[in-house]
Amino acid sequence: MMKFIKNVKMLNEQSELIETTVTIVDGRIEALGAKQPDAAEIIDGKGHLLSPGFVDLHVHLREPGFEHKETIETGTASAAKGGFTTICAMPNTKPVPDSIVNLKYINSLIEKSAKVRVLPYGSLTVAQSGDERTNLAALKEHGAVAFSDDGVGIQLASTMYEQMQDAAKLDMVVVAHCEDNSLIYNGVMHEGKRNKELGLPGIPSICESVQIARDVLLAESAGARYHVCHVSSKESVRAVRDAKAAGIRVTAEVCPHHLLLEEMDIPSDDANWKMNPPLRAADDKDSLHAALLDGTIDCIATDHAPHTEEEKCCGMVGAPFGIVGFETAFPLLYTHFVETGKWTLKQLIDWMAIKPAQIFNLPYGKIEVGAAADLVLIDLSKEQTVNPESFESKGRNTPFTGWKAKGWPVLTMVEGRIVYEEAK
Ligand SMILES: NC(=O)N[C@@H](CC(=O)O)C(=O)O
Ligand SMILES: [Zn+2]
């Protein structure tokens, strides 16, 4: 089956927007800029931006085990609407993908209902308890994209170290949610100024940064590839920057909300502003921006973390951490940082598609002849207000309600199949 996308613009090597066409045969890009063939299904791109489908290294789909929050079907519909074509699913499900049996089960669920490509993580410890180590070779063999216990930090250095050694032998990446449990103090938001004004318990930045500092040294000794989840503080940035300068094989991600928001933006004791790590201070946010621009932070990941309205209804204490992210990521970042001239469009696409694919050596996130036709068409002039009622995700938990943004995906394609199309 041949498809032909006409009338689109894409970035060339020189970062200029050029008009092009895409010929797709059997789910792969057959040609760029070719003339319209006779026997093809024609898609009119209406002059929109053509971008590689976004790749998200950090998402929570909740199925199996927490289908009241999200399912693979609703989570991947949400991803497709946000322009994401490959997403890596974190292991805090029930069961946890900590064994061949559980990973096979999760893969069967993905096969049944995923609308975009879902690559599952294998956990680092059994039931993510931080105790017994999982068999990484077996998990790799059954399709784990990388290893993580995201949702919780690995408390024991020896557990982390031994799993890094095993992962290094397999040339697989260890992906870490860094959080030292002895430094959380039951906090629900950043330990700074705003938590005192609201009278809420704080989470100090060291809770994250000390574990990153520990882990980069472990990764150096183990010779492991190590990726830091959702970096939120300036001290964490420094730990990653110093590690890179020392030649340690570390990469890092930052979430849209940590780039767009800071603690003082939190209007009240509202759990739609509760996520882990929390929104930190203005100078932390500034250092995250600087780190992206100087390459200390490699990519952007949403940490899409849906929860129900009941769970998020009644203030921060008692509510679970997390906010949804797929459907707002590109428009918010484009509007606030590209339209304002702080970033180029090329940088944003690099951070959302090209770099994340490179971190896991995935053959996605790029538009070239022979590559999978994982594509998103974006209407850069379309302006819309964020309205959680319109989300494909079951989660409505976002702090961005009512924000105006431009640059909404209008069509998303995975291997040439249309998985999202804007309602006409
Ligand atoms: N980020 C969050 O606030 N929550 C995530 C867990 C995680 O990514 O740490 C979740 O699973 O809800
Ligand atoms: Zn996490």
CATH number of the domain where residue 402 is located: 2.30.40.10
Q: What is the pLDDT of residue 182?
A: 97
Atom of ligand 1 nearest to the CA of 275: 3
Domain that holds residue 42: 3-49+372-421
Residues 289 and 416 in one domain: no
Amino acid, res. 402: G
Which one of 307, 330, 359 terminates a domain?
359
- Say if residue 279 is in the same domain as residue 173: yes
Q: Is 231 in the same domain as 305? A: yes
CA 152 to ligand 2 center in whole angstroms: 7
pLDDT at 82: 99
The CA distances from residue 161 to 121, 157, 214, in Å, are 18, 6, 10
Are 296 and 164 part of one and the same domain? yes
Indicate whether residue 62 lines ligand 1 (CB < 6 A): no
Q: Is the CB of 60 under 6 A from ligand 1?
A: yes
250/271 same-domain check: yes
Domain count for the chain: 2
365 domain-assigned: no
> Is the domain of 225 the same as that of 343?
yes
CATH code, domain carrying 252: 3.20.20.140
- Per-residue pLDDT reduced to its tens digit, 173-232: 999 999 999 999 999 999 999 999 999 999 999 999 999 999 999 999 999 999 999 999
Give nearest CA residue, ligand 1 atom 7.
151
Q: What is the mean pLDDT of the chain?
A: 98
Confirm whether residue 98 is marked as ligand binding.
Answer: no
Is residue 334 pLDDT above 90, yes or no? yes
Residue 309 lies in a domain: yes
Query: What does the pLDDT read at residue 39?
Result: 83
Regarding whether 61 and 24 lie in a shared domain, the answer is no
The pLDDT of residue 173 is 99
- Probe residue for ligand 1, chosen from 229, 230, 276 as the CB with the greatest number of ligand atoms within 8 Å: 276
Domain assignment present for residue 141? The answer is yes
If asked whether residues 20 and 139 sit together in one domain, one would say no
Q: Tell me if 276 CB under 6 Å of ligand 1.
A: yes
Q: Identify whether residues 249 and 353 lie together within a single domain.
A: yes
Residue 424 has pLDDT above 90, yes or no: no
Q: What does the pLDDT read at residue 13?
A: 84
Q: Is residue 90 one of the residues assigned to a domain? A: yes
Check if 322 has its Cβ closer than 6 Å to any atom of ligand 1: yes
ipTM of the complex as predicted: 0.98
Query: For the chain, what percent of residues have pLDDT higher than 90?
Result: 98
262 pLDDT band (50/70/90 cuts)? very high
**Which residues make Cβ contacts (< 8 Å) with residue 134, sequence separation at least 6?**
98, 99, 122, 123, 124, 125, 126, 147, 163
Give the position of tokens 């190590």. Answer: 226
One domain for residues 287 and 406: no
pLDDT for the residue numbered 40: 87
**pLDDT of 169:** 98
Percent of the chain scored above 70 by pLDDT? 100
Choose the catalytic residue: 284, 303, 350, 374: 303
Neighbour tally for 156: CB within 10 Å: 11
Is 294 marked active-site? no
For 374, residues 6+ apart whose C-beta sits below 8 A from its C-beta are 52, 53, 85, 86, 117, 364, 365, 413, 414, 415
Whether 390 is covered by a domain: the verdict is: yes
Pairwise CA distance, residues 154 & 218, whole Å: 12
pLDDT band at 379 (very low <50, low <70, confident <90, very high): very high
Residues 9 and 130 in one domain: no
Q: Are residues 58 and 195 in the same domain?
A: yes
